[in-house]
Each structure stands twice: as C-alpha cells, then as structure tokens.
Amino acid sequence: MEAYKLAECLVEQYSPEQLTVISSLAGVTANPKLPAGEVRIGGFTDTYSTGGKPGRNSKLGLQKYLLQEKISLLVNATHPYATQISENAPAVATELGLPYFRLTRPPWVKHSHDQWIEVPDLSAAIAYLNSGFLKTNSGLSKQIIFLTTGNRGIELFQQCRKCYFVVRTVELPESVESGSSNSAWENVTYLKARGPFSLENEISLLQQHGINLLITKNSGGDSTYAKIVAARKLKIPVLMVARPEMNSADQCWKVNQVMDWIVQNKSE
C-alpha cells in the first residue's frame, strides 16, 4: 500500500516534465491494482535473454532496463518478502551510481496477550506443524489452520496431512482457478479476497471455520493487521514467519521520508 501512496503523491506533486514516475509490478496477480503514473508489469529476467541463473538474469535485466529508460532515481517499495528484487535493486544501483532508497513497512510487534510461535521460514513452519503443533494440540478433534502467507510456497503445506487448511489469497492458485483436478491437496478450503479486512470480519471468519491456528508472514502495515488482533481476542496462537534479513541501510518506513529524499536527489 505504501508504494501506491508514494506513486500517488509523486504524480500529484510533480508534472510529467518535472518527474516521470514509473512503477514496476512483478505481475504475480492477473488483475493487479494499478498505481498512479506509468506502470511496467513483469519480472526482469526476460529483459536479458542470455543463459544463466534466473537470479543473475533478473539482475542484469534490471540493469538493462534502468539504462534503457535513463532512470535517475531508484526507490525499492516492494513487499518485505520479495527477496530477489530487494537484493538486486541496491546492487544494481551501486554499479550504475544511481541514488537508491528503500521504503518498507515496520514489522508487527508482539503484544503481551499474543501467542506467537516465531519461525524463520515456511519450511520451519511446516516442520512445526508436523511435530510441535500436533503434539501440543493432540486433544483437538481437528486441527484447522488459517493460512495467509500468499500463493508462493503454499503447495509445501500439502505435506501436513493431519491438518485442515483455510487458505486466503488475493488470487486463487491456477489449478483451482482453472478447475484442474490434478491437485493432491484435499484438506483445504480456498478464500479469494483482498484487504483491507475489518476486525469484525476476521473474528467472524475465525469463528465460522473453527480456526485453531493462524499462519502468516510478518508483513506489517494496517491492511491485514486485523487478523492478528482477532487471533489475540480469540486466544488463537499465531505461527509467525519472520522477515528475510536485509541490509537496513538507506531505508525508511514513511512515504514523506521518500518524498524528502527525492527532493534532495532529483536532478534539475
């Protein structure tokens, strides 16, 4: 949401002659919300057609794009868990001598009444489900889990055969959307929805489905925080997947800080 707000503020403050604002979307969702200004959709791997590793290709593709478009300022305002672009962007900016800044959300902070089980990644979350969670909750008639980690990596949870999942994503997985019967995941209900979500909605959803555990990433921000509050009020534990470690230099949490940075670095 911060990226959309930043694009909106920039388009309002500057004319196209003063500053061309281009937002690059990864293209993960088929019908994304479009930000103000010009929009580019898709990864950078395909912009560099030679062979090699995808990560290297996406870095070279980003470099090629920045040079072709004569980009003079680079702001990384992507999701906290978008590791590839967050590694490539500062590296390419350094190589090209471009001013670079990172806009991200502050992570959620655990409150005294929260029951968080913090794990480093999705693999650790699955390991916990297959061991600690099942042992701790062996008296439950059914382990029903609300999974809100996004589409990427959700297929890994098919390994947890003793759990039932309620999965909420912005867009349904392709196999579900197309009606394919090839999916081996039977213990699942899919919900297609886009935030922000109200506290009343989240409490109702957790109660309606009889949720025993919430699994989420520590994305931060207000749009989806209501589920954390709902879990707190209903005394439901939260399996919290930590953020990837990133260099904290040259980053901020507020749009107005980026606006000030752009004023300082914009070429006249």
Whether 42 and 55 share a structural domain: yes
The answer to whether residue 22 sits within a structural domain is yes
Average pLDDT over residues 69-75: 95
The answer to whether residue 111 sits within a structural domain is no
Average pLDDT over residues 56-77: 91
Whether 192 and 229 share a structural domain: yes
Whether 259 and 210 share a structural domain: no
What pLDDT score does 216 carry?
Answer: 97
Structural domain range at position 47: 2-106+245-265
Whether 146 and 231 share a structural domain: yes
Whether 180 and 90 share a structural domain: no
| Lowest mean per-residue pLDDT among 47-61, 70-84, 141-155 | 47-61
- Percent of the chain with pLDDT strictly greater than 90: 59
| Lowest mean per-residue pLDDT among 99-113, 177-191, 246-260 | 177-191
The answer to whether residue 139 sits within a structural domain is yes
The answer to whether residue 64 sits within a structural domain is yes
Tell me, what amino acid is at 167? V
Whether 131 and 186 share a structural domain: yes
The answer to whether residue 144 sits within a structural domain is yes
The answer to whether residue 132 sits within a structural domain is yes
Contacts of 161 (CB under 8 A, 6+ apart): 187
Average pLDDT over residues 235-252: 85
The answer to whether residue 127 sits within a structural domain is yes
Q: Per-residue confidence at 83, pLDDT binned at 50, 70, 90?
A: confident
What pLDDT score does 45 carry?
Answer: 77
Whether 78 and 176 share a structural domain: no
Whether 14 and 68 share a structural domain: yes
CATH code for the domain of 231: 3.40.50.720
Q: Per-residue confidence at 178, pLDDT binned at 50, 70, 90?
A: low
What is the number of structural domains in the chain?
A: 2
Q: Per-residue confidence at 128, pLDDT binned at 50, 70, 90?
A: very high
pLDDT over 60 (residue 182): no
Tell me, what amino acid is at 184? A
Q: Per-residue confidence at 142, pLDDT binned at 50, 70, 90?
A: confident
Whether 84 and 201 share a structural domain: no
What pLDDT score does 44 carry?
Answer: 85
Q: Model pTM greater than 0.85?
A: no
What pLDDT score does 33 carry?
Answer: 83
Whether 74 and 170 share a structural domain: no
Which is more confident, 1 or 184? 1
Q: How many CB atoms lie within 10 A of CB 227?
A: 24
The answer to whether residue 78 sits within a structural domain is yes
Whether 205 and 259 share a structural domain: no
Whether 78 and 166 share a structural domain: no
Q: How does the average pLDDT of the chain come out, rounded?
A: 87
